[in-house]
Chains A and B, each alone.
Chain A
Amino acid sequence: AAGVIQSPRHLIKEKRETATLKCYPIPRHDTVYWYQQGPGQDPQFLISFYEKMQSDKGSIPDRFSAQQFSDYHSELNMSSLELGDSALYFCASSLYTGGANTEAFFGQGTRLTVV
């Protein structure tokens, strides 16, 4: 079965550079979530989209932005990168149906290292 695809898997950037992370949800899934997991930390919710509209927002820095496209894939844009942005970034997707969401399935994550 198709899973959530994230690209790239690994990314190394210098301070103050920009990074773009991509997420391709499971086919037919209409909701995408982004999480950030720092070293030794639990995943923290950043932002989510439903049907190409932002549905919820968590602790996402103003330097970050995201969107969901017509094909439901999503991109997380990160500018003016800081050392503290080094983390594993997860994307998850689910299907909103009947007034509730199905299980959220996670991608394998993008490991961002800022040097």
Chain B
Amino acid sequence: AQTVTQSQPEMSVQEAETVTLSCTYDTSESDYYLFWYKQPPSRQMILVIRQEAYKQQNATENRFSVNFQKAAKSFSLKISDSQLGDAAMYFCAYRSFYTGANSKLTFGKGITLSVRP
């Protein structure tokens, strides 16, 4: 079974600064997907960024980028130019690649990010 670990329960960043959220995972599979989801106070689950394990290049989405280290099983999220609206709970999640229709997500415990004005 796959596990996802987010060891930092809380982090804080100054507005306009950069912050990195850490995530490690454990799997015996060679192909898989990794995701970062944002859950603001509204509790909506919003996909921030996705990484395919077979891709060497780190994914980027505007101010959000990842550092994917497959050998180390590490998947960190970097938020640049932090904004007040970035304050939320962030979940790292894993999904198997070859499971057909059984594509459930396995989540980490999440990290609460606060942004100081």
Contacts and interface: CB of A to CB of B under 8 A. Distances in A.
Interface residues of B, number: 21
Contact of A90 (B45, B102, B103): B45
A62 interface: no
Interface in A63-90: 88, 90
Interface in A85-103: 88, 90, 92, 94, 96, 99-101, 103
Interface in B97-117: 97, 99-110
A25 interface: no
A103 B47 contact: yes
A101 to B, nearest CB: 4
Nearest to A34: B104
Contacts of A92: 45, 105
Interface of A: 31, 33, 35, 37, 41-45, 48, 50-51, 55-56, 58, 88, 90, 92, 94, 96, 99-101, 103-106, 108-109, 111
Closest 7 CB pairs of A and B: A50-B101, A106-B45, A101-B103, A56-B102, A42-B107, A45-B104, A55-B101
Interface of B: 42-47, 50, 91, 97, 99-110
15 contacts: A31-B103, A33-B105, A37-B43, A41-B109, A42-B109, A45-B104, A48-B104, A50-B101, A50-B102, A55-B101, A92-B45, A99-B100, A105-B47, A108-B44, A111-B43
